[in-house]
Chain A
Amino acid sequence: MHIIVCLKQVPDARQVRLDPETHTLIRQGVESIINPYDLYALEAGLRIRDERGGKVTVLTMGPPQAEDSLREAISYGADEAALLSDRAFAGADTWATSFTLARGVEKLAPFDLILCGKQAVDGDTAQVGPGLAERLGLPYATWVRKIEAVEEDRIRVQRLMDDGYDRLEITLPALLTVVKEINEPRVPSLKGKMRAKTQKIPLYGAADLGADAGQVGLSGSYTQVMRVFAPVRRREREMLQGPVEKQVHDLWVNLKNRQLIPFDVAGSR
């Protein structure tokens, strides 16, 4: 089986902070990591490969340094990798990104399965996976929390919904986006790390993909970012004072007055 796992290199969202003065993002010293959800996709791919044989190819679109994320994926056990990188790709929205990835996938064809994380933690759109599937004319399932069975020409999965889950059977080749419930990713191995150092990773630019400048990156995007700003948080706030019993008591009285609790704690002091 040939499994393609799409990765995105993202700034570690846990480290991103807002400057309280300027309300701008402090990106300094923020590490780049593989989008955490993509690691679950990678693990799902590796497990299918370990069980059924075949290979896992990791694919990413990004700046040249996104190659690091591909090498990291190799250290986890991916067999091959491909990088889509070109100045022309910059500023892509999900429309242009899925277009570019689709062209990249075609370079890696034939394949049986494409796996993506449910969304990237920087953009949080969850649109590239389904968009890519549609570009390639593939059936797909999102929010996959379990792969029940993989056969030569079909796959059975569970899709996580708000009120439970759906069981689906999908004809291969297909695309899945996975949620973190699906597995616990392995750790990189020493041998994988050694291989990651030396493995050749092909690089494809816009011309290699046969893409016009108007189809990729910012100029190939249908949505435009008009404004970026810090979220405003405003609220009348009351910091309660005094000893703990008094603070707690005042809290309950206030909540009672707002009809948020049914109890009368007035006498409990």
Chain B
Amino acid sequence: MSATLLIDTDLCSGCESCVSVCPFSALSMADGKPLVNDQCTLCGACAEICPEGAIRVPEAAPAAGPDPAYRGVMIFAEQRLGRVAEVAFELLHKGRELADTLGVTLTAALLGRELDGPARELLRYGADRVYTVDDPRLEGFTDEAYGEALTQIIRSVKPEILLAGATPIGRSFIPKTATQVGTGLTADCTELEIDAEKRLLLQTRPAFGGNIMATITCPQRRPQMATVRPKVLKKGAPSDSPAGEIVPFNLDWSGISGKTRLLEIVEELSEKVRLAEADVIVAGGRGLQEAKHFSLIRELAELLGGAVGASRGAVDSGWIPYAHQVGQTGKTVAPKLYVAIGVSGAVQHLVGMQSAETIVAINSDPQAPIFDVATYGIVGDLFEVVPEMIRQLKAAGG
């Protein structure tokens, strides 16, 4: 914890009532006075019980307005095993636009090992400055080290906006940083705009399984923090002659206890990855009626050189593993071609695939919402249509 319990030893009578009331065994007596250890959560039980009023919990007083010392846009640039995540480039492109609107600099925070190459790449994609913490202890991801590192960078650089990818890593540790810094955080945004006059970030995200969209702001606290869903923002073109600089950041490791130990990183190049990267996805839904009919989807996907996707309905029915699920609770995809077969188009599915360039929908129900987002629609029995698709492709030498 960054803040610690405030104990006035002059007022303390040594009655030990704080020691017995502490739910975390964080207090002990030394020379007749209480001593606090790192189990303390600032819960305040001791302060409440203390008859002398000798214990106080530090309370961050709510500011009247945002701290004007915070200026600039920062993105957290995620890398894993030396590869910068695509979403970092998407964030830089958006971040550039926001920074230009606000007339401020765009910086990036990069954690890991041997970061020269990745840092230069970030400069090429538009960062004015890249803060790096190059340390073997950051080679693998732990919430503790990453959270603490980003907190320290934010406290030092004081950006007014911080964006991170809504990836498993970003969504895991950014909430810790936001809590440490003491600011609001909006998860999994799909749109970002700026109210230049108020310097307010308008963060739009889906809720209720994508049934509604909400625009969220953080008026009082800085930085304004958001995680942004990968593949919904555009990536910019890299520059050949970037002007920015790389600034190594000195991390104070004393507050990092090492209670989380990364034992091993196991790579499993799963269907999920193939799905995220595929240019063509053929997805099946409840209309397939049972597991074995997914063979139709697989065959078509294979002919088109694509990956197999599925709606939540199909996954929930146990017809196909979760790794194939597209949608709010599955994977967000943006292929060039998305073929939805027997997928009704529940909103929760649509939010995961509607940014596909071309969408083909095949469904027996002409009212199915999937047709609302389709580029081409075929109303018909999929058990007639799909075999015909396969037949024609094969006849064409597919």
Contacts and interface: CB of A to CB of B under 8 A. Distances in A.
Any A–B CB pair closer than 8 Å: yes
Contact of A102 (B41, B180, B375): B41
A55 to B, nearest CB: 16
Contacts of A11: 208
A51 interface: no
Nearest to B386: A248
A14 B377 CA distance: 25
A115 to B, nearest CB: 16
Contact of B371 (A133, A239, A245, A255): A239
A238 B373 CA distance: 11
Nearest to B335: A260
B183 A222 contact: yes
Contacts of A141: 143, 260
B322 A248 contact: no
B292 interface: no
B211 A131 contact: no
B379 A135 contact: no
A215 to B, nearest CB: 9
A151 interface: no
B273 interface: yes
Contacts, number: 284
B153 interface: no
Contacts of B398: 261, 263
A164 B378 contact: no
A49 B218 CA distance: 41
Given A244-B388, A248-B378, A124 B265 contact: no
B183 A240 contact: no
Interface string B167-205: 111011101101110011111100000000000001000
Contact of B1 (A137, A174, A239): A137
A165 B266 contact: yes
Interface size band for B: 35 or more
Given A141-B260, A166-B265, A223 B185 contact: yes
B204 to A, nearest CB: 8
B336 A260 contact: yes
A168 B322 contact: no
B129 interface: no
Given A124-B207, A162-B167, A252 B24 contact: no
Interface in A97-129: 98, 102-103, 106, 109-110, 121-129
Contact of B168 (A136, A160, A249): A160
A135 B41 contact: yes
Contact of A230 (B25, B212, B359): B212
Nearest to B372: A233
B395 A265 contact: yes
Contacts of B257: 139
A229 B220 contact: no
Contact of A251 (B143, B267, B389): B389
B263 A167 contact: yes
A162 B272 contact: yes
A244 B12 CA distance: 87
Interface centre among A125, A143, A265 (most CB of B within 10 A): A125
Contacts of B337: 255, 260-261
A68 interface: no
A156 B262 CA distance: 10
Interface string B3-47: 000000000000000000001110000000000001111111100
A237 B370 CA distance: 11
A124 B179 contact: no
Interface string B203-219: 00011111111111111
B51 interface: no
Given A13-B208, A109-B23, A130 B377 contact: no
B46 to A, nearest CB: 11
B258 to A, nearest CB: 8
Interface in B357-376: 358-360, 371-376
B392 interface: yes
B62 A131 contact: no
26 contacts: A14-B346, A18-B211, A95-B184, A110-B24, A126-B188, A130-B173, A134-B147, A134-B175, A137-B41, A160-B168, A162-B276, A166-B140, A166-B141, A168-B262, A214-B62, A229-B215, A231-B350, A231-B351, A235-B375, A238-B376, A239-B371, A240-B377, A244-B385, A244-B388, A247-B380, A248-B392
